[in-house]
């Protein structure tokens, strides 16, 4: 068994364990709430780390306030993409009716390039297009001058419907369409927009229409092509990927000039630690859970590195279509997305068989993706789970907790049963409330595209604290990227689910739900859970029971949420009267 583990890790970027040598990673950080709660404003920022809260629209999208030039506006937080775009006031559609601040087109410093960002899946396609320009972009007191982004003038995405004005991609530079297009222009080439594999849903499950829950899944960038880098160096058709390329050196150097926002902040050492940390709260079915929080450059106060399970991020070699290395560092292999290895997947305590759709030589892995409102997996495996639920079209009794778990780095991470269950549109049948699973099938890996078979979206991220450690972006072998995970599922989550269902039955089958506006101020928790993870509540809403109210730490050491009280001097921006 041990030998097989060593063989498996050889296919991935190997982390230089022990853990990142940054102490506990707290105190100097800035911590921003992802959802809107009553907060205490904190102006001081020390040690180039910060945090901010996130807004939450019915657990479908999570957004954060950024400042672009003089415009403060919320954008969807997305670890599955790497581009920043904001809808501008030049949008000819009814964009202004969305009620969010739009970017003034006349403030844009143009680059002479236009971009068309294509999103979608095997059923549908959406787009966002407009000029690429520059302005100063800031988040939580951190700012980057001359940051490149797209000022969108045409889009058929549903971003505006979720109370956001755009998307902030937190992925690696290699998947940034804007970065590749600007680099291509610099190399006097055009980016090859060949589609290899969409990072997207292939087919919805059974007969259920998940469209009402899929507004978060509006971006699914294509697998990137780096052919323009080879063509810029050598016009002839590429027949090998081993030859050092002068243009590849220019590509790596350009990370700090027109790379994505987080890439530029890290390469310029604006963060004390090259890391962001995300926790998501629950705004449907049973309110509470982790506080919606984005920490930049530090772990949340009180959380330590050795509490997390750390796993390497997959790197893509040039043979696999990855970014070619600089001739100064010909052995470097770069990550593209936040993709991590999965040891196994379990449902209700039974290990699931591997998918037969993909080839056996592709190792099991998953994308960790805040821009995905579901958990997506191989079609045959998802169908098997649906069959085990037993109800019509995969529906089941909401009061029966189900356990979907992922073995990662030797530790088991479960999806909270309250996040696995989504109330059906006609949920009350007699005195039983019916739910459908937060699942969907996705395209198979390989075929010249991404190699992950699972996408761990918001239902998974509401069940854990996730640290995204970028490491050394230009030389990943020196400090490899990795992901840290800390489970926050309480040991009594099943009991809490049953209580929520009983309350819903008494209310005629109606579960509580709310939306929270992204705040402007920093986040300070006055109480935390057992692992010192900040916890969420909705003060004053006694009828909407917080899932944390009666929880305590279990013997297993699994963190169990406690109530957190958050005070406010600043009410944030009320972008919309209602959602």
Q: What is the pLDDT of residues 306-319, one digit of tens each?
A: 999 999 999 999 99
What CA–CA distance (Å, rounded) separates 91 from 200? 27
Sign of CA dihedral 470, 277, 216, 259: negative
On the question of pLDDT at 39 being above 90, the answer is: no
Using N-to-C axis directions, what is the helix angle for 246-253 and 177-186, rounded to 10°? 130
Least reliable range by pLDDT among 30-39, 95-104, 262-271, 355-364: 30-39
Beta pairing, strands 454-456 & 365-368: parallel
Per the CB < 8 A criterion, the answer to whether 370 and 458 are in contact is yes
Lowest-confidence range among 97-111, 205-219, 230-244?
205-219
Of the candidates 84, 44, 37, 54, which has an alpha carbon nearest to the alpha carbon of residue 466? Answer: 54
Q: CA-to-CA distance for 90 and 152, rounded, in angstroms? A: 8
Q: What per-residue confidence (pLDDT) applies to 412? A: 96
Distance CA 466, CA 294 (A): 10
Mean of pLDDT values over 344-355: 96
For the segment 398-403, the average pLDDT, to the nearest whole number, is 91
Q: Strands (DSSP E) along 269-343, which ranges?
A: 275-279, 293-296, 309-316, 334-341
CA distance 136 to 275: 21
Q: In 3-state terms, what secondary structure has residue 56? A: strand
Nearest CA to 129 out of 215, 78, 189, 193 is that of: 193
Note the pLDDT of residue 308.
96
Helices and strands, counts by H and E, the chain: 10, 30
- Write down the H helix ranges in 62-211: 177-186
Q: Kindly list the structural domains of the chain, giving each domain's residue range(s) and its CATH number in brackets, ordered by start.
A: 2-516 (2.40.70.10)
pLDDT value at 133 more than 50: yes
Q: Where are the beta strands (DSSP E) in 35-179?
A: 50-53, 55-57, 61-68, 71-78, 84-87, 109-120, 125-139, 142-152, 154-155, 166-169
Angle at 220 between CA 217 and CA 226, to 5 degrees: 165
Mean pLDDT of 375-383: 95
In this prediction, residue 284 has a pLDDT band, given cuts at 50, 70 and 90, of low
Strand partners, 275: 469
Q: What is the rounded average pLDDT of the residues 534-550?
A: 46
Within 13 Å, how many C-alpha atoms sit on residue 266's CB side? 28
Q: Does residue 411 register a pLDDT over 90?
A: yes
Q: What pLDDT, on the 0 to 100 scale, is given for residue 571?
A: 28
């Amino acid at each position: 068994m041990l030998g097989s583990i060593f063989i498996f890790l050889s296919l991935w970027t190997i982390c230089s364990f022990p853990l990142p040598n940054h102490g506990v990673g707290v105190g100097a950080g800035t911590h921003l709430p992802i959802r809107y709660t009553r907060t205490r404003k904190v102006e001081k920022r020390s040690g180039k780390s910060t945090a901010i809260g996130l807004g939450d629209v019915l657990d479908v999208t999570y957004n954060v306030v950024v400042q672009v030039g003089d415009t403060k506006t919320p954008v969807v937080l997305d670890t599955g993409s790497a581009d920043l775009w904001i809808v501008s006031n030049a949008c000819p559609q009814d964009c202004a009716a969305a009620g969010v601040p739009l970017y003034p087109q006349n403030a844009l410093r143009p680059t002479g390039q236009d971009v068309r960002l294509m999103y979608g899946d095997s059923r549908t396609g959406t787009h966002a297009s407009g000029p690429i320009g520059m302005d100063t972009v800031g988040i939580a007191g951190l700012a980057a001058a001359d940051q490149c982004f797209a000022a969108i003038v045409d889009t058929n995405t549903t971003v505006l419907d979720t109370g956001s004005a755009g998307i902030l991609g937190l992925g690696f530079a290699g998947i940034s369409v804007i970065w590749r297009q600007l680099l291509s222009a610099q190399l006097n080439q055009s980016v090859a927009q060949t589609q290899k594999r969409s990072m997207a849903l292939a087919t919805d499950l059974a007969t259920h229409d998940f469209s009402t829950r899929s507004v978060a899944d509006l971006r699914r960038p294509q697998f990137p092509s780096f052919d323009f880098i080879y063509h810029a160096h050598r016009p002839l058709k590429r027949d090998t990927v081993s030859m050092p390329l002068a243009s590849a050196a220019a590509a790596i150097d350009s990370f700090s000039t027109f790379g994505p926002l987080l890439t530029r902040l890290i390469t310029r050492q604006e963060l004390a630690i090259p890391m962001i940390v995300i926790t998501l709260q629950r705004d449907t079915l049973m309110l509470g859970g982790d506080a919606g929080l984005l920490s930049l450059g530090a772990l949340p106060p009180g959380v330590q590195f050795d509490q997390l399970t750390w796993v390497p991020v997959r790197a893509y070699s040039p043979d696999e279509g990855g970014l070619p290395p600089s001739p100064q560092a010909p052995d470097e292999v770069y990550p593209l997305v936040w993709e991590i290895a999965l040891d196994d997947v379990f449902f209700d305590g039974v290990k699931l068989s591997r998918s037969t759709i993909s080839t056996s030589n592709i190792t099991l892995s998953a994308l960790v993706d805040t821009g995905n409102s579901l958990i997506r997996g191989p079609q045959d495996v998802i169908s098997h789970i649906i069959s085990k639920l037993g109800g019509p079209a995969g529906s089941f009794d909401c009061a029966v907790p189900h356990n979907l778990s992922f073995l990662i780095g030797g530790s088991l991470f479960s999806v909270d049963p309250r996040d696995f269950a989504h109330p059906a549109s006609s949920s009350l049948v007699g005195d039983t409330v019916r739910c459908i699973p937060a699942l969907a099938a996705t395209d198979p890996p390989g075929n010249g595209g991404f190699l992950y078979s699972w996408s761990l979206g918001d239902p998974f991220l509401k069940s854990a604290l996730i640290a995204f450690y970028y490491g050394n972006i230009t030389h990943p072998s020196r400090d490899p990227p990795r992901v840290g995970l800390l489970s926050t599922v309480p040991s009594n989550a099943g009991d809490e689910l049953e209580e929520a269902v009983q309350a819903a039955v008494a209310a005629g089958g109606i579960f509580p739900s709310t939306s929270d506006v992204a705040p402007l101020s920093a986040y300070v928790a006055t109480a935390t859970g057992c692992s010192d993870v900040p916890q969420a509540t909705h003060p004053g809403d006694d009828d909407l029971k917080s899932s944390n109210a009666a929880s305590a730490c279990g013997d297993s050491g699994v963190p169990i949420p406690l109530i957190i009280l958050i005070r406010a001097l600043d009410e944030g921006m009320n972008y919309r009267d209602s959602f």
